[in-house]
């Protein structure tokens, strides 16, 4: 079962660049249509898969296929939507509004947490494992199709349209990312390293609910409440992170600072077994670590989008961001298998060590990177001047 769920994260480094390449070649909106449509469909299909008692081994087989497809599409949605939004923001408020973009993801998390709470109350005991969990995926599918319908009324990214008008687009964006002559290879590698540390921390926290349910014996409704609080913390963290990013003008240095803040988060996790019986204390300790993760998110988003030029932005974003989730998926599998010899009670210590290692990974990537703040604005200004001057970049 662990491998089935991890498969969604492991396929994301493929889906991100592939759908990102489509966004760079033919437009952000068309790629989002594909990603959102596929994500909504696979979510609903997951809830419809018959159980093992009905079709035997075909049940986990179908689940694996749908989870792989879901990971593919969600990778494209994240890459495309983040770039779409960041490109549409005015230069002076790009950092601040990037935090609000991340808040949208936290609001979705909050909505799903409330659905989880409602389903937990409606389906108790064995009924949740047989029927209740399906409603979680149905809700995700309905929400995704609602976003898809809204996207139809949103205009294409003007930054992309300007690049297209000056013929600063390419038919082979992924190939350019790794081309030795384009200059994007080093940017891509450092973005992957930086974001692997940042995204990995969020995924390291995903096993918390299992630890609380099995080792601490916390009630399922309390765990659902904890997820609700985490959603609110995510909203606040993204807003605060956006405000700090707006005031602090160095993306590179702020990424380094945020990376080191994961270390006190590791100590918070190590303290959890001593206070695990107190729900309020668990909320505070876990919430502190969640907050640090969400503070980091706007800067990761801004850095990744400004590191790449428009012609390869979504492809680079798709690869780097989803390689982070790949790292996180692998880290989650490692944590799970380490629990076999050490026991579930060792979960906080294992995660704490992982947080420190991921923090150092993210710090090293940010340290070796160049400052990216303002890259989109400068590129847009040059292309606008090119249009006004009547000149065009050579076609590809």
Residue range of the domain that includes 120:
2-151+172-387
Q: Which residues of 266-276 are buried (b: 16+ CB within 10 A; e: fewer)?
A: bebbbebbeeb
160, 168 in Cβ contact below 8 A? Answer: no
Domain total in the chain: 1
The answer to the question of residue 282 being in a domain is yes
Nearest residue to 326 (alpha-carbon basis) of 3, 109, 6, 18: 6
- Asked whether the predicted pLDDT for residue 81 surpasses 90, the reply is no
Nearest residue to 39 (alpha-carbon basis) of 120, 143, 123, 182: 143
Q: What is the mean pLDDT of the chain?
A: 83
More confident residue, 236 or 339: 236
The answer to the question of residue 394 being in a domain is no
The answer to the question of residue 113 being in a domain is yes
pLDDT in tens, 45-60: 999 999 878 888 888 8
Task: Convert 38-83 into a string of H (helix), E (strand) and C (coil).
Answer: HHHHHHHHHHHCCCHHHHCCHHHHHHHHHHHHHHHHHHHHHHHHHH
Phi, psi of 65 (to 5 degrees): -60, -45
The answer to the question of residue 294 being in a domain is yes
The answer to the question of residue 199 being in a domain is yes
Q: What whole-number distance in Å separates Cα of residue 390 and Cα of residue 359?
A: 48
Q: Is 15 helix (H, G, I), strand (E, B) or coil?
A: helix
More confident residue, 167 or 207: 167
Res 56: pLDDT: 87
Res 107: pLDDT: 80
The answer to the question of residue 167 being in a domain is no
Is residue 206 very low, low, confident or very high in pLDDT (cuts 50, 70, 90)?
A: low
- The pLDDT of 65-82, averaged and rounded, is 87
CA angle 358, 361, 362 (to 5 degrees): 90
- The pLDDT of 368-396, averaged and rounded, is 79
More confident residue, 204 or 82: 82
Res 369: pLDDT: 92
pLDDT in tens, 236-284: 888 898 899 899 889 999 999 988 888 887 888 777 666 656 777 777 7
pLDDT in tens, 100-119: 887 777 787 778 778 877 88
DSSP-H helix ranges across 152-219: 158-165, 173-177, 185-204, 208-214
Q: What whole-number distance in Å separates Cα of residue 210 and Cα of residue 49?
A: 23
- Asked whether the predicted pLDDT for residue 373 surpasses 80, the reply is yes
Res 201: pLDDT: 63
The answer to the question of residue 393 being in a domain is no
The answer to the question of residue 364 being in a domain is yes
Phi, psi of 153 (to 5 degrees): -95, 0
CATH of the domain at 144: 1.20.1250.20
- The pLDDT of 82-87, averaged and rounded, is 89
């Amino acid at each position: 079962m662990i491998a089935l769920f991890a498969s969604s994260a492991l396929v994301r480094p493929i889906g991100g660049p592939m759908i990102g390449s489509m966004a760079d070649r033919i437009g952000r909106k068309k790629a989002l249509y594909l990603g959102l449509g596929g994500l909504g469909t696979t979510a609903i299909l997951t809830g419809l898969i018959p159980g093992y008692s009905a079709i035997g081994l075909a049940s986990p087989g179908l689940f694996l296929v749908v989870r792989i497809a879901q990971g593919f599409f969600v990778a494209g949605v994240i890459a495309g939507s983040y770039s779409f939004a960041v490109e549409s923001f005015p230069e002076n408020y790009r950092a601040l509004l990037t935090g609000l973009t991340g808040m949208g993801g936290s609001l979705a998390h909050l909505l799903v947490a409330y659905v989880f709470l409602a389903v937990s109350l409606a389906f108790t005991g064995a009924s949740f494992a047989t029927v209740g969990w399906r409603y979680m995926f149905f809700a995700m599918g309905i929400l995704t199709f609602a976003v898809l319908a809204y996207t139809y009324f949103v205009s294409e990214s003007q930054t992309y349209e300007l690049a297209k008008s000056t013929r600063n687009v390419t038919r082979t964006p992924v190939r350019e990312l790794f081309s030795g002559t384009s200059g994007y290879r080093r940017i891509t590698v450092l973005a992957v390293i930086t974001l692997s540390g940042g995204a990995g921390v969020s995924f390291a926290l995903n096993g918390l609910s299992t630890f609380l349910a099995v080792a601490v014996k916390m009630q399922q409704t309390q765990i659902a409440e904890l997820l609700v609080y985490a959603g609110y913390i995510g909203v606040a963290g993204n807003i605060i992170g956006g405000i700090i990013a707006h005031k602090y003008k160095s993306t590179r240095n702020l990424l380094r600072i945020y990376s080191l803040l994961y270390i006190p988060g590791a100590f918070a996790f190590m303290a959890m077994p001593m206070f695990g019986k107190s729900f309020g204390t668990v909320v505070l300790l876990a919430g502190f670590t969640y907050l640090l993760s969400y503070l980091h998110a706007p800067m990761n988003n801004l850095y990744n989008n400004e590191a790449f030029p428009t012609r390869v932005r979504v492809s680079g974003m798709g690869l780097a961001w989803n390689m982070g989730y790949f790292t996180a998926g692998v880290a989650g599998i490692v944590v799970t298998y380490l629990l076999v010899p050490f026991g579930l009670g060792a979960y906080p210590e294992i995660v704490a060590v992982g947080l420190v290692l991921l923090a150092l990974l993210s710090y090293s990537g940010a340290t070796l990177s160049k400052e990216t703040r303002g890259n989109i604005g400068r590129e847009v200004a040059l292309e606008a001047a090119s249009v006004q001057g009547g000149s065009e970049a050579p076609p590809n």
